[in-house]
Amino acid sequence: MLCGPCRLLRASVAPTAALAAALLSSLARCSLQEPKDQVASALSPYFGTKTRYEDVNPGLLSDPEAPQRDPELLEGSCTPVQLVALIRHGTRYPTAKQIRKLRQLHGMLQARGPGDDRPGNASDRGLGAALADWPLWYADWMDGQLVEKGRQDMRQLALRLASLFPALFSRENYSRLRLITSSKHRCVDSGAAFLRGLWEHYHPGLSPPDVSDMECGPPSINDKLMRFFDHCKKFLTEVERNATALYHVEAFKTGPEMQSILKKVAAVLQVP
């Protein structure tokens, strides 16, 4: 994505450099325990659109602030004049709906007494018991909010971008930066964390002011753009509320393959 504009604008035309760092809110990224969690690390490469930055780019594990540049993408002759980035919010808590479902599952696991253990191997029995003993610490107020790691994700992303595109992100150009976000708190907070990261980059050692007092101003909220799927009439009538269009989704969720996976998981956890 970063390479696109640069290839097209090889000779520097240098109009305004506006960065629309837009925070897409529809997709969700769940946080597990905040401290580094081996289980989370083992699973998260399989989260698809919810994959963590460090799983896509393992180099970040050793130094999350070091920029890594593909030499093919940015040749020496290329002067980027504009960068448009679509950025997903940082790591967040589960939503209230997800927390409700987790509680339901947790309740089921706790309800099965040791006597309920069906024949199975010891590690399978251990898994159900371990999950039942796990303290479910999510509270309703957490409802999809950004966690500290999410703030860190955004801060480090800002630092990497600033090092990759030093001219675009020079202090002189800071006031040209434009952030657009959806109204979701996790997205607004992600935008603020991104700006704070940049501010710290320009003013090392100082603590950042409120984002509304920064030269570039706070992220502007635009749900029509960032949550188009809630506002676009064509999408709503032709796709979202159209059973025919979503036929394959339904077929996938209720199909025999999915049923067999559900049965297997239920058997491993020994829940109905």
Ligand X SMILES: *[C@@H]1O[C@H](CO)[C@@H](O)[C@H](O)[C@H]1NC(C)=O
Q: Which residues bind ligand X (CB under 6 A)?
A: 14, 17, 81, 121, 123-124, 167-168, 170, 172-173, 237-238, 242, 244-245
Min CB(237)–ligand X separation in Å: 6
3-class SS letters over 57-96: CCHHHHCCCCCCCCCCCCCCCCCCCCCEEEEECCCECCCH
Based on CB atoms, which residue is closest to ligand X, 123 or 207?
A: 123
181 backbone dihedrals φ, ψ, rounded to 5°: -140, 160
SS3 state of residue 270: coil
d(CA 243, CA 208): 49
89 is catalytic: yes
- Which CB sits closer to ligand X, 168 or 187? 168
For ligand X, give the closer residue by CB, 65 or 124.
124
**Is 38 or 121 the residue whose CB approaches ligand X more closely?**
121
Running DSSP on this structure, what letter comes out for residue 45? Answer: G
- Residue 187, CA atoms < 13 Å, CB-side half-sphere: 24
CB of 12 to ligand X, least distance (A): 8
* Smallest distance, ligand X to C-beta of residue 126, A: 9
Catalytic residue among 89, 106, 203, 248: 89
Show the tokens assigned to 112.
């099965």
Rounded Cα distance between 183 and 66, Å, is 30
For residue 24, the minimal CB distance to ligand X (Å) is: 24
Annotated catalytic sites, by residue? Answer: 89
